[in-house]
Structures are given as C-alpha cells and as structure tokens.
Amino acid sequence: MSLLHLEYRLAPEHPLPAAVDDTLAFYRALLRDGISSSRLIIMGDSAGGGLTLLTVQALLARNLPIPRAIITMSPWTDFSSSARNTLDNIHQWIEAQFQRQISD
C-alpha cells in the first residue's frame, strides 16, 4: 500500500476552487499513470475533509471515475458556523467559561 500526500494551495492566498483544481489535477495524473480509481481512497480531516467532499463532487460533475472510498474526519462543511450543533457548542462553551470564572 502506498500513501500519497498532496500539498494543495491554501486560502486566502488561493481561494476556491484552487484547492479543488489541485486535487483534480493530482487525481487525473494518477489515473493517467494507470492507477485504477478502484485502488484509490481520498482522505481528509477538518478543512481537508471538506475538500475531500468537494473533490468527489467535482469528479461526479466531470463524469470521472470515483475513488473506491473516501474518509472524512471532522470535515469543515459549515463555513457560516450556523448549524444548530455549532451554536449549541458555542453556548455550552461560553456557559462553561462563565461558570469557571464565577468559581475562581
């Protein structure tokens, strides 16, 4: 088994879709080199998890073969931080900080 790590362009210096373009170019190069998509797994965590999802979306939009699997760990997908669980976590963190200050 081989593991390849891609250093893709980062925002804000290189806004989207630069990172997706980088991952697509890399993926296409692997396919051109004769590596079957059924042998590929794309993995990312945090912002890289979101990039993993965007990459697969781009592959589907271009009718390219999809990888055998994808793995995302805590993908950052809610850029507005407006999801209910995000707001609940923020409120819980603020409450904990307030309680800590009161008890000190």
Bond from prior residue into 12 cis (ω within 30 degrees of 0): yes
pLDDT digits (tens, 9 = 90+) for 47-85: 899 999 999 999 999 999 999 999 999 887 766 666 666
Supply the pLDDT for residue 101.
80
Q: pTM to 2 decimals?
A: 0.74
65 in Cβ contact with 27 (< 8 Å): no
> How many CB atoms neighbour CB 89 within 10 A?
12
